[in-house]
Structure 1
Amino acid sequence: MSSSPLADRTVVVTGAARGLGAALAREISRRGARMALLGHESAALVAVAASLPGPALTIEVDVTDPAALAAAARTVRAGLGRPSAVVANAGIAEGGPLLASDPAAWRRVIDVNLTGSAHTARAFLPDLFDTAGYFLQIASLASIGAVPLMSAYCASKAGAEAFAHSLQAEVAHGGVGVGIAYLNWTDTDMIRDADRYPVMRRLRLHMPPPAHRIHPVDAVAARLVRGLERRRTAVYAPTWLRLTQLVRPALPPVVLRVSRRALPRLKATKPVQHTGPLGAGGLADRTVSRPGP
């Protein structure tokens, strides 16, 4: 992988302690990059760093804290050199009806997934201008078509997409590229945890094939890193997600029709409850943030 354009470059990944972030770190490191791993869980970050074939630096940081991110950027610069790429991957999710959600927990999803991405860009853009680098925003199929019972997550990912489009136009003249990664269901602890809730699982399975399929995290990471190497403005994992852009205006009425039929049947079999934070990463974030009422 020494022929990769990432070889001998510094790359930052947020939310790198587990799941997609850890898989991205492994894939990028295999291509010869120096890795800066940012996230909440110090021990998990160290374990990921120890598994990488190349040099890695771990920094425990909350992406909703701009001062801490600015300090992290200084640490990366001093320890590994100015980053040539930054992946804004940190994200959390909660599911369930809006009325059953805790307002502070709902807002926390927005803060991490959307505001945290903006803080990440703010901290590292001076370096990316210096290296003519690339910023990859991790978005979702939820950025294109919202689904019920995931209002905070869908709103945050739609916002992250719009943020990245705005940033693309803002920084292009300075030689900085910005890409958006659109993902479908990926085999992480967040998605596995969501599947433990019957209503969440059935809603996923009600999606038409192949949209309900869960994809291996390493395959998704490999696809995203190929896009990162090529500085793509949009990366789709799996590739068929690109087609959803063509039918984007039709998705809300389709989701509405399906939900009108499916949700009452699902609620009749079991009450729909709020999930709380999904996956170990969500639980770790709750421990750090401790949202109030």
Structure 2
Amino acid sequence: MTQPRTCLVTGASRGIGAAVAARLSADGHRVALLGRDVVSLDSVRARLPGEGMAVTADVTDPAQVAAAVDLVERDWGPVEVLVSNAGAGVGAPLVETSDEDWARMLELNLTAPFRLVRRVLPGMVEAGWGRIVVVASVVAKHGEAQVAAYTAAKHGVLGLVRAAAAEVARTGVTVNAVCPGYVDTPMTDTTVEAIAARTGRSPDEARALLARRQPIGRLIDPAEVAEAVAFCLVNGAVTGQGINVDGGTVQS
């Protein structure tokens, strides 16, 4: 059995974050769940097989994030594993993307992970062991129409991962990204609704359209993303990588 670690998972109230929390808990780690919805966080925590903690914070609020990490450290000690998963997208043609949407996408999907990594990295380096995994996206690897701001932010966060990994490569700390395709989550449900509204397709037709975009012909299961995150914890030779979990969409 692997040594139990103190883990912090953001965006843990549903979807990929909840699946990651469940997997890490099943592997024997204690997991702090961070999100904005305390009711949903408590529901996820109640289903964990091991020790869990629910911490409410908006990752785009630096003071809330600092207080949340302080709380975890006070009760459990330094964060040894960070899974920066919280994120969201916005769909619009580039020429219709507002400054506000652009700024929001960068703040949530790039700046918030940066602040989290910056906060927990010193403790990991001091301990000589740590794992950071950022949940990016397949669009960190290629451009996609109608999501320019989201794509730019995810490209940026992959650059952050690579730079951080290079800085700490000799310290025992690894930094990786997991890059999912379309996953069967509430976030994809929102995308399905937007496609249906824009094209006149039914929700089932819109969902099937997204499934067909991936060579395997289906949506990714959140547990499959969680499996990739778990791999990053146990393999210390893998760092600075963007691990695709996209059904073969991007071959690299």
Same structural fold, with TM-score higher than 0.5 when normalized by the shorter chain: yes
**Paired residue for 1:43, among 39, 44, 68?**
39
Q: How does 1:236-251 map to 2 (within 5 A)?
A: 236-238=244-246, 240=248, 244-245=251-252
* 1:176 is aligned to 2:173: yes
| Residue aligning to 2:161 | 164
* 1:225 is aligned to 2:222: no
The Cα of 1:69 is off from its aligned counterpart by 1.9
Q: Deviations over 1:180-233 (max 9, x none)?
A: 2121111111112212223584874673623x6311112221232123322432
Kindly tell me the number of residue pairs found equivalent between the two proteins.
Answer: 239
Q: Deviations over 1:49-98 (max 9, x none)?
A: 11111111111112222232222222111112212210111101111213
* 1:209 is aligned to 2:211: no
CA contact (8 A) 1:32 1:54 kept: yes
Secondary structure of the residue aligned to 2:244 is strand
| Residue aligning to 2:93 | 97
* 1:153 is aligned to 2:150: yes
Q: Deviations over 1:79-118 (max 9, x none)?
A: 1221221011110111121333342133111101000100
CA contact (8 A) 1:33 1:54 kept: yes
Q: What residue identity is the alignment partner of 1:237?
A: V
Secondary structure of the residue aligned to 2:170 is helix
Separation (CA, whole Å) in 2 of partners of 1:205 and 1:165: 29
Give the TM-score taking structure 1 as reference length.
0.75
76-85 or 65-74: bigger deviation: 65-74
| Residue aligning to 2:203 | none
**Paired residue for 1:26, among 22, 26, 30?**
22
Separation (CA, whole Å) in 2 of partners of 1:51 and 1:114: 30
The Cα of 1:119 is off from its aligned counterpart by 0.7
CA RMSD of aligned residues (A): 2.1
* 1:126 is aligned to 2:122: yes
Structure 1 or 2: more helix by fraction = 1
Secondary structure of the residue aligned to 2:123 is helix
Secondary structure of the residue aligned to 1:104 is helix
The Cα of 1:42 is off from its aligned counterpart by 1.4
CA contact (8 A) 2:183 2:222 kept: yes
Separation (CA, whole Å) in 2 of partners of 1:216 and 1:68: 31
**Paired residue for 1:139, among 113, 121, 136?**
136
CA contact (8 A) 1:9 1:84 kept: yes
Q: Deviations over 1:123-175 (max 9, x none)?
A: 21122223311111111110111110011111111001011101111122332
Structure 2 unpaired stretches of 5+? 200-205
CA contact (8 A) 2:82 2:132 kept: yes
Higher Cα Rg, which structure: 1
CA contact (8 A) 1:64 1:119 kept: no
Using the aligned pairs only, state the percent identity.
Answer: 32
CA contact (8 A) 1:65 1:119 kept: no
The Cα of 1:177 is off from its aligned counterpart by 1.0
| Residue aligning to 2:83 | 87
Give the TM-score taking structure 2 as reference length.
0.87
Q: What residue identity is the alignment partner of 1:244?
A: Q
